Chains A and B, each alone.
Chain A
Amino acid sequence: MGRVLTVELRQMCERPPKTCGPKDLANTPRRAPGDRLFLALCAAAVVLFVMFIVTLIVADALYVDARAVGEVLRSRPIRHALWMSVWTSCTTTVIALLFAVPMGYVLSRYRVFGRTFIDAVIDLPIVFPPLVAGLTLLVFFSQTAMGRWIQQDVGLEFVFQPKGIVLCQFLVAASYAIRSARTAFDDVDRRFEQVALTLGCTQWQSFHRITLPLAANGIVAGGILTWARAFGLFGPLMIFVGSFRGRTEVLSTTVFLEQSVGNLEVALAVALLMIFIALAAILAIRLIGGRGQFRL
């Protein structure tokens, strides 16, 4: 009986027709003139924007000479700033994701009291003027009793300290990770989690075996935004941690310092270094993600 059933079912399991891919677009019917104009406008927007960015980078690159590049690569303080930029932005991203994943999940899945207010507070740092973020932190840690207690009694010193860079970056950039994680969890159908529960999973197991992998794309995209925002942060850092050579200097403040003393070629060379690192990081994540779960 089972064999007969199997044969019948196998006959029913015919391969479905292939879905239309990008290469098939050439075989689509002729388009109306209005449609062609619409597609041309869309394509023009893409071309104009990409050209705008590439032109600016090329203009910078043409301004920089080999001497400036050599100076940047040889300079110990700039190498230190590069290291500070990379580790602080990566640390900030990890901490932001550690907050973003549980926060995004709980806000997406549960009716939290005061959710509208919480949402507004989470989005607030995105619209903060950068200088205000730095000033707020400075006022909190230097002018309030709690801030002084954290710095002096607990011993966690942030003002004009490398740790302050991470705190500053976290304040300004974590909202991107939280917002992205929440949207990613919203996009995962709850039905998957429910079915996982009936298949023997606890809620934690259904989260890490089903929800998290399915939301990974959005979470990683939020991580990239957070990292990029943290890597390029400048204004709040100048106020909260300053730019002390060899201690709290990061690449964005290096650019400011170099151009303020008239060393424009070196400032641009550092800027190009930042662009190159950011581009390499984003491309690497996209390429790794292309082979794994979190395709972007």
Chain B
Amino acid sequence: MIRTEKLTFSIGQFRLDEVSIEMARNEYFVLLGPPGSGKSILLECLCGLRRPAAGRIFVDGRDITREEPRKRGIGYVPQDYALFPHLSVEDNIAFGLRSTQITRTAARGKARQTADMLGIAHLLGRNVAGLSGGEKQRAALARALVKKPKVLLLDEPVCALDEATRQSVCAMLRVLRQELDIAVMHVSHNLEEAFSVADHAAILNAGRIEQAGPLDSLLRKPANEFVARFMRSENILDAQAIGHIPDEHITCVRIGPVQFQIPGRHEGAVKVVIRPEDVIIEKADAPPLPNTFAVQLLASRDFGSFIRAQFTGPPDLVAHLPRTTLAAVAAGPIRARLLVENLCILE
């Protein structure tokens, strides 16, 4: 549906560096990245507000790199929604239709239809100034959707909303994508938000795509340390391969004084990524198992649905534990066990 080939753009010291991404029809794609990584600039290049220095953009196979924004068939909702303050909600929604050949009455009819779909028909006569954040968000969305774009670009669409509204808007966005059969690119720096909507995602860092693919693969198989840290894999440990088990495709590695057996064949210095939820904490007197070592609880913090606990080893670890687990093991000596099948190795 939309594809970029080595898209390059520079502004001041910042550079979007040969960004290549691809979104299929009816796909919900989340562009993740820390603030300042170039997510909004990439979106602006896609919808034609910035002219790339090199590279190409295709929509449905058509090269739109040099097309005017109005001819691209791309809907765009900026982070601040940018509703026109001198127009009513209805006129905002119908705005894009007025530059086509349809009559004012027909435009208003379509605006009402779109507003109805988004549950804001009762706001049509209102001024933009009096709307709440969620209402503005839906009005801006209706304005972008009324022209039936092939691709919808959303720049941090829910970052200004409260948690409850955010969840319901994310659910609505997925439904809309399905009903309208459009591709959606959603920019965010929030992982929970990404998981609630995305089919696929890409992580942008300092103008470069670090990794793209299904969110689960970004989580389980990060391509590098940046992606691992961005996906909140808090345990990234330096390890040294010390040998292989013949015929079993297993490598013995040493992390500090402790030896582990990890799947695959690796040589020399590697980094072992362990997600905090893949660390099992149990009593030290449990039956002996491979890949276990003694740890001590250093600190813990309650996040409501889980407890983030820091342990000293060596190696030092962070684990996300159910409340009951920590209470049960806190009394005596404890050990950590790693689920090696979930480990990820960065060469």
Contact = CB atoms under 8 A, between A and B. Distances in A.
B99 A205 contact: yes
A13 B134 contact: yes
A288 B35 CA distance: 46
Nearest to B149: A198
B119 A200 contact: no
Interface residues on A, range: 20 to 34
Interface string B38-78: 00000010011100000000000000000011101011101
B172 A5 contact: yes
A5 to B, nearest CB: 6
Contact of B49 (A1, A6, A8, A198): A198
B286 to A, nearest CB: 47
A16 B119 contact: no
Contacts of A202: 68, 70
B264 to A, nearest CB: 45
Taking chain A's interface residues, is the majority helix, strand, or loop, or is none over half, making it mixed?
helix
A189 B81 CA distance: 12
A9 B147 contact: no
B147 to A, nearest CB: 7
B96 interface: yes
Contact of A189 (B72, B74, B82): B82
A198 B116 contact: no
B219 interface: no
A200 B85 CA distance: 18
B168 A12 contact: yes
Interface residues on B, range: 35 or more
A196 B172 contact: no
A201 interface: yes
B118 interface: yes
B117 interface: yes
B175 interface: yes
Contacts of B134: 12-13
Given A16-B131, A189-B82, A192-B84, A10 B96 contact: no
B86 interface: yes
B84 A191 contact: no
A199 B100 contact: no
B179 interface: yes
B57 to A, nearest CB: 14
Contacts of A214: 84-86
Interface in B130-145: 130-132, 134-135, 138, 143-144
Contacts of B68: 197, 202
Interface string A3-39: 0011111101111100000000000000000000000
A195 B76 contact: yes
A10 B119 contact: yes
A9 B118 contact: yes
B99 A6 contact: no
B168 to A, nearest CB: 6
B132 A198 contact: no
B2 to A, nearest CB: 14
A195 B119 contact: no
Contacts of A8: 119, 168, 172
Interface of B: 44, 47-49, 68-70, 72, 74-76, 78, 80, 82, 84-86, 95-96, 98-100, 116-120, 122-123, 130-132, 134-135, 138, 143-144, 147, 165, 168, 172, 175, 179
Given A16-B131, A16-B132, 16 more contacts: A1-B175, A5-B172, A8-B119, A9-B168, A189-B82, A194-B49, A196-B84, A196-B95, A197-B49, A197-B68, A198-B144, A199-B96, A199-B144, A200-B70, A200-B147, A214-B86
9 closest cross-chain pairs (CB), A and B = A9-B119, A199-B96, A200-B99, A6-B119, A197-B69, A16-B132, A198-B76, A191-B82, A200-B70
5 contacts: A12-B134, A13-B120, A194-B69, A200-B100, A202-B68
